[in-house]
Amino acid sequence: MKLKPILLAIALVFTVTQVGFAQLPDGSVAPDFTITDIDGEEHNLYSYLDSGYSVIIDFSATWCGPCWNYHTSGVFEELYAAHGPDGTNELRILFIESDDNTTDDELHGIGANTWGDWTAGVDYPIADNGGSVFSAYECSFYPTILTVCPNRLLKQTGQASLDTHASYVQSIECAPATLPQDAGLIAYVGSVRSCPETPTALGVTLINNGTEPLTSCTLEASTLFGTELLTYEWSGYLETYEIEEVTLGEAIFPTTSMFSIEVTSEDGYEGNNSVSATMNLSQEAATSLVRVQLTTDNMPGDNRWSITDLSGEEVAGIAFGEMSESNTDYNWWVNLEELGCFTFNLFDLTGNGGDLSCSFSTYNDGGFQTNNIFTLNNNGNWNQLDKGFSVNEVNMSIGENFGVESIAIYPNPLNQENEVQLSGLTGRETRIELHSSTGALIRAWAQPSQSGTINLPIGELESGLYIISVHGASGIQTQRLIKS
């Protein structure tokens, strides 16, 4: 099996998704659209692509200085003349004014929000009020210039030179299908996180770039250093440019590894036969009982958290806006109920990260913290943070009390009280202890020798989780105590 060169990457302690542009990534399938230009003519993207043309889309705004500078450079006029309908006839260009708040006058150079007449000397189509198309492509800045190839896959080609645009349109990557057999891989679509000794599903997006139907191909997955993970014989039926997501099967990764998936069967073009990704192995061990503690900043609605399983399905979490109070402590207890590989995710809607703190911990069935898996206490810029962990012990159900239910505490949670009532005693207890959530002993009372209910002076406590344990001849009974 041939191995493609892959750059080594450093595995981070936790994954950070930095703030960045949100447009559809290179290799995405371009959404179809129909738009009417300022001369009243309709233009449908897929009709152009099905005719074998590449389409360059220029998302601009009349008030955008960089848009104007590139627009007036003459690159697109020359490119359209050389390779459009009156040239080699291999591409189309669509200029889409994408700010719906601008007017037709401003497009023609009249008004305050324009740099000039955008229609002057332009032969390719110009369309106004293209905000919906701009949104469909998830664009976030002007100008966004994309090239969509006949196979409907897009690439951000940007403010390139005439030769650069022409070279990409004429490259085998973007040219119309000419080879009879050409199976291509667009992207890896499987999980990028796993746990030790955990079978993990691998998948790819497969496209037929050939002129004849694609009915079979061989797909092989291997690590950077050539360790074979699995081989999958795909069979099906894809017409030219049709796409299918393919699950290859499950593989076990010995460590965090970069890996590739390749088409290894006979194929007309090898340049699109490989995709790569990194599988991050989560080494953090947890029980099934976990706790999320989060202190909001001045924008509490900007944040949310979730826990996802190995398939990416959310098994617990909150929505944006569910936390409504600024500079406030929030706590959630979650029982994951089963063994497996999970990920804790923390999100920030606006991408500024905020000035918040968050802790994600796991607890044993005595109510003591066993591992602090994730901690954040800063104000960096990020959209998402995540940390993987493996549940290797199913312990307490969150619907149960910690320990045996024969003892009870009142009030619970506490507010301002410095004393609690402890009921359910038999008179044969030898010791009562108050512990912090990390197991540190705070107070102890020896031989209460009283049955029924006693008043337990606990003193002033900081807000948080505590454990009261009652020791006796039959063992230890525990209850959690929350100070609000």
| pLDDT confidence of residue 55 | 98
Per DSSP (E only), the strands in 114-256 are 126-127, 144-148, 154-156, 183-188, 193-194, 200-208, 214-223, 228-238, 243-251
Q: What is the pLDDT of residues 89-104, one digit of tens each?
A: 999 999 999 999 999 9
| pLDDT confidence of residue 121 | 93
| Residue 432 belongs to domain with CATH number | 2.60.40.1220
Mean pLDDT of the chain, nearest integer: 87
Residue whose entry in the numeric block shows the structure tokens 């081989």: 231
| pLDDT confidence of residue 473 | 59
Is 194 in the same domain as 110? no
Q: What is the mean pLDDT of residues 415-421?
A: 86
Res. 11: pLDDT tops 60: no
- Which residue in 186, 198, 342 sits closest to 277, CA to CA? 186
Res. 17: pLDDT tops 80: no
| Residue 194 belongs to domain with CATH number | 2.60.40.10
Q: What is the mean pLDDT of residues 362-380?
A: 81
Using DSSP bridges, classify how beta strands 289-295 and 451-457 pair: parallel, antiparallel or unpaired.
Answer: unpaired
Please state, in angstroms and rounded to a whole number, the distance separating the CA atoms of residues 75 and 165: 9
| pLDDT confidence of residue 3 | 33
| pLDDT confidence of residue 338 | 86
What angle, rounded to 10 degrees, do the helices at 75-83 and 162-170 form?
Answer: 40
| pLDDT confidence of residue 9 | 31
Residue 421 sits at the vertex; the CA angle it makes with 415 and 427, to the nearest 5 degrees, is 160
Can you give the pTM of this predicted structure? 0.68
User: End of a domain among 392, 423, 450?
Assistant: 392
| pLDDT confidence of residue 330 | 84
- Residue 12 is assigned to a structural domain of this protein: no
- Residue 25 is assigned to a structural domain of this protein: no
DSSP secondary structure letter of residue 434: E
Q: Please give the single-letter amino acid code of residue 366.
A: G
| pLDDT confidence of residue 182 | 95
- Residue 312 is assigned to a structural domain of this protein: yes
Q: Which token pair is 125?
A: 């189509």
Res. 57: pLDDT tops 70: yes
| pLDDT confidence of residue 370 | 85
Task: Provide the residue range defining the domain that includes 312.
Answer: 285-392
Res. 342: pLDDT tops 70: yes
Is 328 in the same domain as 372? yes
Is 465 in the same domain as 386? no
- Residue 18 is assigned to a structural domain of this protein: no
Task: With cut-offs at 50, 70 and 90, classify the pLDDT of residue 356.
Answer: confident
Is 128 in the same domain as 254? no
The answer to whether 315 and 307 have CB atoms below 8 angstroms apart is yes
- Residue 44 is assigned to a structural domain of this protein: yes
| pLDDT confidence of residue 463 | 85
Instruction: Report how many domains make up the chain.
Output: 4
Please state, in angstroms and rounded to a whole number, the distance separating the CA atoms of residues 327 and 118: 49
| pLDDT confidence of residue 430 | 77
Res. 451: pLDDT tops 80: no
Is 41 in the same domain as 163? yes
| pLDDT confidence of residue 276 | 95
Please state, in angstroms and rounded to a whole number, the distance separating the CA atoms of residues 188 and 119: 42
Q: What is the mean pLDDT of residues 252-280?
A: 94
Is 99 in the same domain as 132? yes
Residue whose entry in the numeric block shows the structure tokens 């291999």: 90
3-state secondary structure of 281: strand
Lowest mean pLDDT among 143-157, 159-173, 386-400, 434-448: 386-400
| pLDDT confidence of residue 78 | 97
Q: Which token pair is 411?
A: 């009030």
| Residue 334 belongs to domain with CATH number | 2.60.40
Res. 244: pLDDT tops 90: yes
Q: What is the mean pLDDT of residues 356-366?
A: 84
Task: With cut-offs at 50, 70 and 90, classify the pLDDT of residue 106.
Answer: very high
Is 129 in the same domain as 80? yes
| pLDDT confidence of residue 35 | 97
Q: What is the mean pLDDT of residues 318-340?
A: 86
Is 37 in the same domain as 162? yes
The shares of helix, strand and coil residues in the chain, as percent rounded to the nearest 5, are: 10, 45, 45
| pLDDT confidence of residue 483 | 86
| Residue 48 belongs to domain with CATH number | 3.40.30.10
Is 230 in the same domain as 296? no
- Residue 15 is assigned to a structural domain of this protein: no
Res. 4: pLDDT tops 60: no
Please state, in angstroms and rounded to a whole number, the distance separating the CA atoms of residues 125 and 70: 16
Task: With cut-offs at 50, 70 and 90, classify the pLDDT of residue 132.
Answer: very high
Q: What is the mean pLDDT of residues 11-40?
A: 71
- Residue 1 is assigned to a structural domain of this protein: no
Please state, in angstroms and rounded to a whole number, the distance separating the CA atoms of residues 186 and 169: 18
Is 291 in the same domain as 383? yes
Q: What is the mean pLDDT of residues 395-403?
A: 46
Is 133 in the same domain as 219? no
Is 217 in the same domain as 341? no
Strand arrangement, sheet containing 214-223: 193-194, 274-281, 257-263, 214-223, 228-238
| pLDDT confidence of residue 406 | 65
Specify which of 122-126, 322-326, 468-472 reaches the highest per-range mean pLDDT. Answer: 122-126
Percent of the chain whose pLDDT exceeds 90: 57
Q: What is the mean pLDDT of residues 253-263?
A: 94
Res. 242: pLDDT tops 90: yes
Please state, in angstroms and rounded to a whole number, the distance separating the CA atoms of residues 167 and 156: 14
Please state, in angstroms and rounded to a whole number, the distance separating the CA atoms of residues 484 and 481: 10
Spatial CB neighbours of 304, under 8 Å, sequence gap ≥ 6:
317, 318, 319, 320, 322, 323, 346, 347, 349
Q: What is the mean pLDDT of residues 74-80?
A: 97
Res. 378: pLDDT tops 50: yes
3-state secondary structure of 128: coil
User: End of a domain among 228, 254, 281?
Assistant: 281
Q: What is the mean pLDDT of residues 61-74?
A: 97
| pLDDT confidence of residue 22 | 53
* Partners of 342 in beta bridges: 309, 389
- Residue 16 is assigned to a structural domain of this protein: no
